[in-house]
Amino acid sequence: MDVKNELNKARQNRYAIGAFNTSNLEVTKAIVCAAAKFDIPILIATTPSAIEYAGLKTIFDIVRDEIANSKIKAAIHLDHGKDFNQIKEAIEVGYKSVMFDGSKLSFDENVHLTERLVEYAHRHDVCVEAEVGVIGHEEGGKVSGKSEKSAPDQVKKFIELTGVDSIAVSVGNEHGAPKGESLDFKLLKSIADVIDIPLVLHGASGLKFHDLSEAIDVGVAKINIDTNIRHAFLHEIETSKEKNDYRVPFAEGMEEVEKVVSKYLEIFSNV
């Protein structure tokens, strides 16, 4: 799948590509089963912590094989990559989409490293996402600090300097599905009005469905879902009555994840 092309199509036609996080076979299967019911592409995302848990080649092979054995249009995406060497390794293994998260760095350093990655990734036909502003709260089970909203002029300048393919912004969205999360749509529209590449929304698990639909209408073309997938899978395992065969609670967790992903894909289709 040509990720850059698909993101641009989503932006132009006002739907969103869901990036759904996985760390194992079961969640990956559930995501693929949900995606098979819809006619839009998806990304299956792995964070550095997922790679640490499963192994880079192992998790890549799981996702690649599940996609290959289905009829869905999908690609594997590296989410919140911070280590340049790990991102290069992911590209060499076969990732078609990567995110460099330099949001905690100075603006100039973020620009420098992103530009360097874009140059490398584009030689391998890999789509690159970056982040301007800081999306705070919880990320991969760890507190990542306070949010800093993205400034439209900085986002525009960053894109011009780096040649990045898509951009994640901080507009009230936070990782970890915190209560009371709401988007600053005025800021989001201000950013959308001055850029010409797809916008990415992280920390979407805590947002209301109508907010996601409105964000898509403004120009968001990729939406990340992680926390609600983990919560759905864990809840079914914790409440399962089966105590002897772990495959039973895993199957129950997969069924619930499929429901969660299906609901998001219904929203992202924006029909």
In the chain the domains, ranked by start, together with CATH numbers, are 3-269 (3.20.20.70)
d(CA 218, CA 51): 33
CA 133 and chain centroid, separation: 16
Span 86-91, mean pLDDT? 98
* pLDDT above 60 (res 26): yes
Q: What is the pLDDT of residue 103?
A: 87
Q: What is the pLDDT of residue 175?
A: 58
Q: What is the pLDDT of residue 242?
A: 85
Span 54-58, mean pLDDT? 98
Q: Is residue 124 marked as binding?
A: no
Q: Is residue 176 marked as binding?
A: yes
Q: Is residue 225 marked as binding?
A: yes
Q: What are phi and psi of 222, to 5 degrees?
A: -145, 130
Sorted by sequence, the CB contacts under 8 Å of residue 172 that are 6+ apart come out as 147, 149, 181, 182, 183, 184, 187
- Catalytic site residue 79? yes
d(CA 219, CA 197): 9
**Active site residue: 65, 79, 108, 211, which one?**
79
* pLDDT above 80 (res 268): yes
Q: Is residue 165 marked as binding?
A: no
Range in 102-111, 203-212, 214-223, 247-256 with the lowest mean pLDDT? 203-212
Nearest to 220 by CA among 37, 27, 14: 14
CA 36 and chain centroid, separation: 19
Q: Is residue 266 marked as binding?
A: no
Span 260-269, mean pLDDT? 97
| Number of CB atoms found within 10 A of residue 234's CB | 13
Interval 134-149: pLDDT, tens: 666 654 444 455 677 8
Q: What is the pLDDT of residue 149?
A: 81
Span 67-93, mean pLDDT? 97
Nearest to 41 by CA among 80, 60, 13: 13
- Quote the Cα angle for 30-267-248, to 5°: 20
Q: Determine whether 29 is exposed, middle or buried from the number of CB atoms within 10 Å of its CB (0-12, 13-18, 19+).
A: buried
- Quote the Cα angle for 172-113-203, to 5°: 20
Q: Is residue 110 marked as binding?
A: no
Mode of pairing for the β-strands spanning 142-143 and 138-139: antiparallel
Residue 231 near residue 7, CB atoms below 8 Å = no
**Percent with pLDDT over 70 in the chain:** 91
* pLDDT above 80 (res 180): no
d(CA 3, CA 198): 11
The type of residue at 204 is A
Q: Is residue 205 marked as binding?
A: yes
Q: What is the pLDDT of residue 212?
A: 94
Span 233-250, mean pLDDT? 92
- Token pair in block for residue 183: 């988007």
Please report where in the chains the tokens 């907010």 appear, as a residue: 211
| Number of CB atoms found within 10 A of residue 107's CB | 15
Span 42-70, mean pLDDT? 98
Rounded to two decimals, the pTM is 0.92
* pLDDT above 90 (res 23): yes
* pLDDT above 90 (res 29): yes
Interval 145-165: pLDDT, tens: 567 788 999 999 999 999 999
